[in-house]
């Protein structure tokens, strides 16, 4: 059964496909857009690496017995895996945009599919990034609630 996350990924895939189908030459006509994409996705990748470092720190595990720590570590590792996949999408997007800029600057014809692929990757990566702050907020909320619970129990 596909959950909410799965449906969101499928919807993002379809929306990115519709965008690249509706505007196949949008990036080919705008160097400014290509440069903006490089800036935005570089920042997103850097921030996500920093977040992964923070939430992956073993000192950030929930306090309690070893079993609770083990289960929490499994959950965090799965989330870090998802974030790593998102970083991979960012890097591939950056690669395609750089190739598109080189093609455009060199005046090479016959590679308009690269611009369409770059637009698709940009749309898909951006749409997948929208729920990211809420995911990070949920992790932080869980940690805060566990700390309050620990203090309430006097540990």
Q: What is the pLDDT of residues 25-71, one digit of tens each?
A: 899 988 899 999 999 999 999 888 888 887 777 766 666 677 777 77
The first and second tokens of residue 121, run together, are 């990757």
CB-based contact 33:100 (threshold 8 Å): no
**What is the distance between the alpha carbons of residues 151 and 8, in angstroms, rounded to a whole number?**
37
Give mean pLDDT, residues 133-151: 80
The first and second tokens of residue 31, run together, are 């160097």
Q: Chain centroid to CA 50: how far?
A: 13
**pTM for the model:** 0.82
Cα angle value 57/47/41 (rounded, 5°) = 145
CA atoms lying within 13 Å on the CB side of residue 56: 14
């Amino acid at each position: 059964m596909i959950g909410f996350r799965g449906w969101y990924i499928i919807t993002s895939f379809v929306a990115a496909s519709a965008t690249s189908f509706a505007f196949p030459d949008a990036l080919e006509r705008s160097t400014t857009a290509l440069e903006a994409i490089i800036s935005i996705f570089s920042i997103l990748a850097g921030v996500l690496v920093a977040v992964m470092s923070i939430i992956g720190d073993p000192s950030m595990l929930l306090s309690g017995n070893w079993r609770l720590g083990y289960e929490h570590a499994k959950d965090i590792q799965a989330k870090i895996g998802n974030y790593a996949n998102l970083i991979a999408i960012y890097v591939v997007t950056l690669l395609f945009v750089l190739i598109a800029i080189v093609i455009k600057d060199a005046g090479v014809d016959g590679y308009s599919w690269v611009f369409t692929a770059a637009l698709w990757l940009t749309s898909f990566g951006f749409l997948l990034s929208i729920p990211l702050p809420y995911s990070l907020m949920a992790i932080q909320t869980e940690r805060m609630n566990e700390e309050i619970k620990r203090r309430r129990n006097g540990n």
